[in-house]
Amino acid sequence: MIRIDLVNVNFGTIPTGFGGNAYTVLTINGSSSQQPNFICIRGFDDAVALVVGILNAIGEGRWSKVWEKEFPISKEELKQSTPTIPGSVNVRAKGAVLLSSDRGMERLVFITLNGVYGQNPSYFATSIICSASMTLTSVQAPKGKLREVNGIAGGVYSNIRINPEWGIFTYKDFTETNREINRMVRQMQKDSQEFNSWMSKSWANVLSDQTYVRDPSTGEVFRVYKKSWETGEFWREPVFQDVILGGVKEGSKLQELLQMEGWKKLEESLGGFR
């Protein structure tokens, strides 16, 4: 079996006033997914580790590395690399890795890596961008048959002709993937801004001994006085609704009396309500 796979990894952090939010988007042959782990490819060893991780995640046996060999990058190839982001450096590497599975298979993977890595230091948090694109050319065969299959695959590969329509399809898919990545980053920035606003309000209220309460039946929101160390609930008088009583302990006799008289329990939030 011979196959060619295109893998793209975008990792970055968005600085906030309380640290930073990180994201990782992994795209394999045009299919993108957000990853729970941080993936930053900064060299050939990182690329090999990602290839092994992807194969193991597919579930077709357990793969492990037998050997790897990194090939030198020519001066001409290095000249073609120009950082597109201020303060960033290019990541270029190529090589081969032999993998073995517990199901009696071997896979020889040729890796071509192009990427960029950069940091933007900040007082609050360092912004990081780490993007990498890899072309994986693989040959797979049962153990003991890889050399023979690799020779046949080499002849087949040398006679492959590229269909021009593939380039159009790839560009379209790349554009859609980038649009989705940008949407995800914008959503993360929006969530981060909302969180920062909520935290700012919360700290301001703690320091000024205030909090927000809301009447769940009317949606009205009030800013009321409350010591930061005090506990207890807020209740609202049901008739004229101009009296709000705070410090009512849960399960207390006062709470039982208020419930009997029809008082309404209010919702509370230090950072306010959306």
pLDDT in tens, 122-153: 555 566 778 888 999 888 888 887 777 666 65
Same domain, 131 and 242: no
pLDDT per position as a tens digit, 176-230: 766 777 777 677 767 767 777 777 777 776 667 778 888 888 888 888 877 767 7
Same domain, 157 and 215: no
- 43 domain residue, yes or no: yes
pTM score? 0.56
Same domain, 185 and 230: no
Same domain, 187 and 219: no
- 274 domain residue, yes or no: no
Same domain, 216 and 145: no
Q: What percent of the chain has pLDDT over 90?
A: 7
CA-CA distance, 232 to 252, in Å (whole number)?
Answer: 10
CB 243 within 8 A of CB 262: no
Q: Quick check: helix, strand or coil at residue 241?
A: coil
Same domain, 179 and 221: no
**Residue 77 belongs to what H/E stretch?**
helix 75-79
Residue with tokens 């990545």: 181
- Which residues span the domain enclosing 56? 2-198
Residue type, 15: P
Q: Quick check: helix, strand or coil at residue 244?
A: strand
Same domain, 135 and 178: yes
Same domain, 214 and 179: no
Same domain, 163 and 253: no
CA-CA distance, 9 to 160, in Å (whole number)?
Answer: 27
**Residue 20 belongs to what H/E stretch?**
strand 19-28
pLDDT at residue 50, as a whole number? 92
The residue out of 198, 231, 253 marking a domain boundary is 198
| Structure-derived torsion over alpha carbons of residues 2, 80, 13, 45, reported in degrees to the nearest 10 | 50
> Comparing 269 with 56, which gets the higher pLDDT?
56
- Mean pLDDT within 106-131: 77
Same domain, 243 and 125: no
CA-CA distance, 48 to 107, in Å (whole number)?
Answer: 13
Same domain, 77 and 164: yes
CA-CA distance, 16 to 29, in Å (whole number)?
Answer: 33
- 83 domain residue, yes or no: yes
The residue out of 136, 171, 198 marking a domain boundary is 198
CA-CA distance, 40 to 60, in Å (whole number)?
Answer: 25
Same domain, 68 and 171: yes
- 204 domain residue, yes or no: no
- Measured CA distances, 105 to 48, 67, 145 (Å): 18, 15, 9
Q: How many domains does the chain have?
A: 2
- 203 domain residue, yes or no: no
